Amino acid sequence: MTTTDLPAVCVIEKQVQYAPWTEKLFADGLDRHLCLVAEQDGQIVGFAVVQFVLDEASLLNIAVDPQLQKQGIGRVLLDEVIHRAMAKQATTVFLEVRASNRRAITLYQMAGFNEMGLRKNYYPTSHGKEDAVMMALMVF
């Protein structure tokens, strides 16, 4: 991901999140985090942002254009995140996902992630707050 990718990344982010990250938040992360994009026919169709601290990786954000979901793009991005975590000798990849996002939870489980617990009232919604499922994958 580069600064020129940010407008396209933000378009996707706004389509999939109730409280989307801002372009500035993505830009601030470019120097501090692993920021990836998925492209198809020269267009950005997905992205992932990963934070590394010591031997841990945290998947902070991952999304695919809603019109292109269910085509394996999310799995390709997730596999690349796991591969990069292993290359950096991370022992664990952590993430949080909305409890209502069964498709994403299934994707993470298929990749080997296990549920660790819940963060109560973590995500904002139009009707209050929603729990986050905490998940982890041991990679090294």
Q: Which residues are catalytic?
A: 96, 108
* Burial status of residue 134 (CB atoms within 10 A of its CB: 0-12, 13-18, 19 or more): middle
Q: What is the C-alpha separation between 134 and 120, in angstroms, rounded? A: 10
Strand order in the sheet with 34-40: 34-40, 43-53, 56-64, 92-98, 128-138, 114-125
Residue 137: Cβ within 10 Å count: 22
Structure tokens at 139: 């990679």
Q: What is the C-alpha separation between 88 and 70, in angstroms, rounded? A: 29
